[in-house]
Amino acid sequence: MVAHPTPAAHLLDPATQPDAIERAAQRLADGGLLALPTETVYGLGARADDDAAVARIFAAKGRPADHPLIVHVPNQAAALAFVSAFPPVAQRLTAAFWPGPLTVIVPRKLDMATAAAGGHDTIGLRCPDHPVARQLLEACAKHNILGVAAPSANRFGRISPTRAEHVIDEFAGQGDSPDAQSSLSSLGVVWVLQGGPCEVGIESTIIDCTRAQPVLLRPGKLTLVEIQAVAGVDVLWSRPEAPDPSAPRAPGTLLSHYAPRAKVRLMSDAQIASALDVIEPELTAAYLLDPSQGPRMAVYSRSLWAYRAKHKAIVHLSMPGDAAMAAHDLFADLRELDATGVDLIWVETPPDDPAWDGVRDRLNRAAAS
């Protein structure tokens, strides 16, 4: 009897497989799906110049076909293959921040990457700053792959992956069949290129560069202050609660996104402490009556240190007090809390500080689900 393949069978690891990068590039050249590491999150990639390959991304994620993807390129020169114009502000921003966690929205060359752009006349471009991603893009260039379209490697609307095992868990069982070889060769099966934990942990900052005044569509590691210092002009911010209807469609800008299965509620530390005083006795009694049901809620906070590990009725996980570390840990922590099976996650609202804009944005969208 032929054993059923496991998700690990699709893992390529450059640390142990000398040909992993080349096999990954060949996978993309063939039109197949490949999850690749970047410094932000893992992306689910396909060659951007092949609409049929890109369609497999939408199918695997369950993503609407009119939601555009970000195309990853090795450098600014490679980006020119996809654009009808590269506005001066985009040139300044990419010169300053590429390779890095910045995506620019620019006018698209209409005969290029139609599916990746969701049919829109603009396209999002990024040059990642991760050694494995950069090696992959260089190998892809030898296969005449101009860029790799890659949204986050998760089901649509769910928590983004920051480790290879997150991707494997996300697509576990996909493509399983009695015939292991046919499963592995299926172009719609997700292969995963190992690159370790992602350094940044939240998706890239997105700037719309198609108008005279650029617009921040999604905050990330790069703050509005940093962007504006390089842009040379004032940068507007299209906030999710009041989006700019004239802005181009961009990845990760839906009001509801990045959501775990459990319901997320943002609260101040005082609100969480007060609410716990009310709900804790009830949850504790229910847990002691039937521990097999497990905890029903979780708390993710920076401030409530004294509450840690008080009992098993409520799961507690500490949010880092540093914005960069909080971003790095955010999605992995939400996945850990969700895996406990809780129905509700109370999250302490991040500080009102520009350094926390990216984390606050992801939590607001997760809570909107």
Dump pLDDT digits (tens) for 149-168: 999 999 988 999 999 999 99
What pLDDT shows up at residue 180?
A: 45
What pLDDT shows up at residue 182?
A: 46
Dump pLDDT digits (tens) for 314-336: 899 999 999 999 999 999 999 99
Whether residue 1 is predicted with pLDDT greater than 50 in this model: the reply is: no
Domain residue ranges in the chain: 7-193, 263-367
Mean pLDDT value across the chain:
89
Structure tokens at 44: 């689910």
The CATH number of 7-193, from 3.90.870.10, 1.10.730.10, 3.40.1350.10, 3.40.190.10, is 3.90.870.10
Whole-prediction pTM value? 0.90
What pLDDT shows up at residue 310?
A: 57
Q: How many whole angstroms separate alpha carbon 283 and alpha carbon 314?
A: 8
**CB-based contact 332:164 (threshold 8 Å):** no
**CB-based contact 299:276 (threshold 8 Å):** yes
Structure tokens at 138: 């260089």
Whether residue 307 is predicted with pLDDT greater than 80 in this model: the reply is: no
What pLDDT shows up at residue 253?
A: 63
**CB-based contact 172:4 (threshold 8 Å):** no
Lowest mean pLDDT among 92-101, 218-227, 277-286: 277-286
Q: What is the CATH number of domain 263-367?
A: 3.40.50.11030
**Residues 6 or more apart from 296 whose CB is under 8 A from it?**
283, 286, 287, 313, 342, 343, 344
